[in-house]
């Protein structure tokens, strides 16, 4: 093992502290006071000290033990039998479904957004994780679903349940429109084109005032079920749910219904994507991700494979958009910025490329963790970023690494 030079360690610590001071000093050390400003470098110095301490730990501790030595993990035999796995899934689903009974309204709204991001992560995971196509404009399909629900209600009197399949089909068609021009593109070029696609959709929604309402946005109606409305007073020609069953109205009734419906949608999507991975189309996606030339040499139609990945992922994003519009009750172009695409991509990468369990865990982490850190409002984003960096250091291939089958050669 090579001995570390103490002088090099001290230089590295000093550089880390200086870099932290340069980056945080202008932001948190200069406080505006009218047309003047005051200098208070207490916080930047604390952050610089923390950076120096962290750099010292990285230099002294044996960090090699935290890094995986193998790039591929051998498959392990199934720990649970199929019926045991199914039983565990239903137990977890039942516990999640009972949350509106004993959980607070605040945490129900947090979990609604978490489940929406789970749906978005599952959709992008098909494109990026399984097919290996870098998509930075996935928020465009999200916007198509949300505006499809609001515009469908405004112009076609389309309800929530009719908007779900309609938005999925419409977003899938948009996915095909995006897929055709990028059939021959890879890597950075593909990322730039998909990024432009998402921005084009946002700009159209923002500038088409007569049709989409422009920056003012559109109202989206709350969902109903079998003619029951989950508001205190019926305004869509139905019957209030609490009056139909004879109990007192609660403000969390609508949120509870959206949460349960969204939970069922996430469970069905998880099952569907899991089955697709084991079908020939799922194997074709993985073959395309590993090596497109080898995939085409095996006689697989790469055009159909890419289009199917874009369309399937876009359809799931469209469904997530419908739930977002129904939950918010209002849609505007501000909600579909590039930051949303970056966040969903972070969910896929942090969870593990191609891993369904990892996508669920990372989506819950990235949406619930900021809420748990609200007490540390001044340092919430800093702690959140440090947690993500540490996760990627310890788990460079994601929270749940996808295990791939291989053939082991017996030693003679």
- Taking a C-beta distance cutoff of 8 angstroms, is the pair 365, 350 a contact? yes
Q: Is 378 exposed, middle or buried (0-12, 13-18, 19+ CB in 10 A)?
A: exposed
Which pLDDT score, from 0 to 100, does residue 72 have? 47
d(CA 16, CA 57): 12
Q: What is the Cα gyration radius of the chain?
A: 25
Placement of tokens 């003047």 in the chain: 36
What is the arrangement of strands in the sheet containing 224-225, beginning at the earlier edge strand? 224-225, 228-229, 239-240
Q: Which residues, including other chains, have CB under 8 Å from residue 68's CB and lie 6 or more apart?
A: 396, 397
Which pLDDT score, from 0 to 100, does residue 26 have? 67
d(CA 384, CA 202): 28
Query: Which residues face 79 on adjacent strands?
Result: none
Ranges of the chain whose pLDDT falls below 50: 1, 66, 68-73, 75, 77
Which pLDDT score, from 0 to 100, does residue 54 have? 78
Interior/surface letters 12-45, b for 16+ CB within 10 angstroms, e for the rest: bbeebbeebbeebbeebbeeeeeeeeeeeeeebb
Which pLDDT score, from 0 to 100, does residue 404 have? 60
pTM over 0.85: no
CA angle 52, 57, 61 (to 5 degrees): 160
Topology, domain 94-394 = ABC transporter involved in vitamin B12 uptake, BtuC (1.10.3470)
- Taking a C-beta distance cutoff of 8 angstroms, is the pair 263, 115 a contact? yes
């Amino acid at each position: 093992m090579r001995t570390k030079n103490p002088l090099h360690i001290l230089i590295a610590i000093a550089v880390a502290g200086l870099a932290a001071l340069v980056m945080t000093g202008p932001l948190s050390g200069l406080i505006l006071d009218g047309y003047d400003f005051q200098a208070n470098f207490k916080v930047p110095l604390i952050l610089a000290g923390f950076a120096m301490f962290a750099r010292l730990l990285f230099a002294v501790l044996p960090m090699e033990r935290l890094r995986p030595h193998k790039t591929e993990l051998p498959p392990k035999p199934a720990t649970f039998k199929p019926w045991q796995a199914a039983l565990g899934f239903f137990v977890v689903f039942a516990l999640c479904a009972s949350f509106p009974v004993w959980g607070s309204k605040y945490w129900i709204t947090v979990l609604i957004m978490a489940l929406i991001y789970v749906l978005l992560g599952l959709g992008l995971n098909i494109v990026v994780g399984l097919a290996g196509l870098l998509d930075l404009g996935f928020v465009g399909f999200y916007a198509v679903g949300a505006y499809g629900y609001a515009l469908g209600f405004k112009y076609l009197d389309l309800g929530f349940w009719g908007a779900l399949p309609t938005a999925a089909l419409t977003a899938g068609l948009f996915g095909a429109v995006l897929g055709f021009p990028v059939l021959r593109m890879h890597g950075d070029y593909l990322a730039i084109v998909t990024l432009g696609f998402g921005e084009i959709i946002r700009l159209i929604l923002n500038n088409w005032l007569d049709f989409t309402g422009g920056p003012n946005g559109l109202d989206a109606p709350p969902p109903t079920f079998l003619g029951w409305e989950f508001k205190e007073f019926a305004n869509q020609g139905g019957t209030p749910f609490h009056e139909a069953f004879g109990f007192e109205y609660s403000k969390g009734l609508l949120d509870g219904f959206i949460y349960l419906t969204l939970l069922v949608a996430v469970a069905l999507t998880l099952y569907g994507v899991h089955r697709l991975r084991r079908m020939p189309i799922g194997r074709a996606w993985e073959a395309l991700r590993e090596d497109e030339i080898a995939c085409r040499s095996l006689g697989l139609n790469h055009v159909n494979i890419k289009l199917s990945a874009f369309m399937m992922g876009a359809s799931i994003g469209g469904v997530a958009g419908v739930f977002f519009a129904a939950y918010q009750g209002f849609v505007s172009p501000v909600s579909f910025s590039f930051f949303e695409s970056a966040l969903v991509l972070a969910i896929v990468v942090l969870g593990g490329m191609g891993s369904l369990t990892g996508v669920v865990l990372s989506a819950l982490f990235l949406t619930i963790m900021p809420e748990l850190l609200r007490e540390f409002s001044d340092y919430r984003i800093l702690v959140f970023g440090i947690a993500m960096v540490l996760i990627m250091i310890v788990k460079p291939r994601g929270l749940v690494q996808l295990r791939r089958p291989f053939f082991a050669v017996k030693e003679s």
